[in-house]
Amino acid sequence: MNTITHDIFVTVMPSKNFCKQMQRQARSTKMFKLIAVGAMVLAAATEVERRKLEEQVYQLSVRVKKLERSEGE
């Protein structure tokens, strides 16, 4: 008995709704990336400001200690 085989090629095209969903998701991913980068920049700027303020507090505490020592003498 002879067996006949056929190769069948099927091309599947995504639906228009699926394409729209993927475009929306790509847009939201870009927005998420922008928000994440913005948050990182804000965190870095806040940390720089916090360190400046911490240094000022330290310098003021040193001044207060010096003044207390000079009043005690």
Element (H, E) at 69: helix 16-72
Band of the pLDDT at 11, cuts 50, 70, 90? Answer: confident
> How far is Cα 44 from Cα 40, in angstroms, rounded to an integer?
6
pLDDT at 33 (0 to 100)? 93
Task: Give the model confidence (pLDDT) of 23-46 as tens digits.
Answer: 888 888 999 999 999 999 999 999
- Structure token digits, residue 19: 């394409």
Give 33-65 as a DSSP string: HHHHHHHHHHHHHHHHHHHHHHHHHHHHHHHHH
Give me 50's structure tokens: 């916090």
Q: What is the pTM of this model?
A: 0.58
Residue 8: pLDDT band (50, 70, 90) is: confident
